[in-house]
Amino acid sequence: VACRAWDVGLFKAVLAEFLGTGLFLFTGLASIAPWTLASPKLLQASLAFGSSVALMSYCTLPISGGHLNPAVTVSLLVAGKVRQARAGGYIMAQLLGGLTASALLYGLTPEHARGEIGINKLAPGVTLPQAFSIEAIVSFQLVLCVLATSGSRRDPSKGGHLLIGLSVMLGHLVAIRYTGCSMNPARSLGPALIAFEFANHWVFWVGPTTGGLAAAILNDMVLAPTGSGFRQWLTMLQEGPKGPCNLQSKAESTAQEMGLSET
């Protein structure tokens, strides 16, 4: 019975990540559609992406933990806060959600306003090392924020989801002029597949993932160490959070439904 309940919880969590990521990216990408000859405003795009992340994080938090980003999920996996099987399901759901949002937006937008449907690309004069560094830095601060608010996010009254939305908004204010600001491989993959444009696409996967992993390791080893030591951390990373599903307590099951392990 406990195993079946866990399977239902996993299905709901994966569905929440699909819907949350899709809605967040649909609203964000729609805000940068070039309806006029003038480029979308920097502040407009930043507010749209930041507020949509805050809203979807709030909605999906009790169900999946509100990751909405493969780079965040990979970082939480390394930090030992999500199981490997769950992380894999989340990442697939997030990528599919981004692709669905991009396809839906493409179909609903008049041809003259589609432009490049939000493809991430390097601005003129920006080199690959510069683009990679910018993406890594803004993703670093995002994952650090997620980890710092992981406790308060369970209590919506503490506003953890709002802080994450501000972090995403800050990342866009910094990075839009360099790369269009990805911070999220699911955000980059959807438009790239729809337009079939993959120039320098690896930057928008490796950059956010590298920044997120650096934040997770720094947080776990220095800022908020668990005290278990490097060898125990490697063991945890290989085995994942312990506890067979037929012996899970109610509290642990709740935490797993959120995509996080108890700290």
Q: Name residues whose C-beta falls within 8 Å of residue 114's C-beta, 6 or more positions apart in sequence.
A: 33, 106
Mean pLDDT of 172-188: 94
Q: Which residue has the higher pLDDT, 97 or 239?
A: 97
pLDDT by residue (tens digit) across 190-237?
999 998 999 999 999 999 999 999 999 998 888 877 655 555 656 666
Identify the CA nearest to 48 among candidates 66, 33, 63: 33
Q: What pLDDT, on the 0 to 100 scale, is given for residue 247? A: 28
Q: How far apart are CA 101 and CA 9, in angstroms?
A: 24
Q: What pLDDT, on the 0 to 100 scale, is given for residue 237? A: 61
* Alpha-carbon distance values, 1 to 6, 74, 84 (Å): 9, 29, 22
- Asked whether the beta carbons of 131 and 200 are under 8 A apart, the reply is yes
Least confident of 109-118, 132-141, 162-171, 253-262: 253-262
Residue 45 has pLDDT above 80, yes or no: yes
Residue 142, burial from CB neighbour count under 10 angstroms (0-12, 13-18, 19+): buried
Token couple for 113: 């306003």
Going by the DSSP 8-state scheme, the letter that residue 66 receives in this structure is -
Backbone angles phi, psi at 47, to 5 degrees: -65, -40
Residue 189, burial from CB neighbour count under 10 angstroms (0-12, 13-18, 19+): buried
Q: How far apart are CA 146 and CA 152, in angstroms?
A: 10
Q: How far apart are CA 44 and CA 36, in angstroms?
A: 14
Longest dimension (CA), the chain: 60
Identify the CA nearest to 86 among candidates 23, 151, 189, 13: 13
Mean pLDDT of 258-262: 45
- Asked whether the beta carbons of 9 and 253 are under 8 A apart, the reply is yes
Q: How confident is the model at residue 246 (pLDDT cuts 50, 70, 90)?
A: very low
Q: H or E stretch including 127? A: none
| Sign of CA pseudo-dihedral 182, 184, 187, 189 | positive
Residue 171 has pLDDT above 60, yes or no: yes
Residue 95 has pLDDT above 50, yes or no: yes
Phi-psi label, residue 183: left if phi above 0, alpha if psi -120 to 50, beta otherwise = left
Residue 79 has pLDDT above 90, yes or no: no
Domains of the chain: 2-240 (1.20.1080.10)
Q: What pLDDT, on the 0 to 100 scale, is given for residue 250? A: 37
Q: How far apart are CA 121 and CA 209, in angstroms?
A: 17
pLDDT by residue (tens digit) across 145-155?
999 887 655 56
Q: How far apart are CA 40 and CA 87, in angstroms?
A: 34
Q: Name residues whose C-beta falls within 8 Å of residue 233's C-beta, 6 or more positions apart in sequence.
A: 80, 220, 221, 226
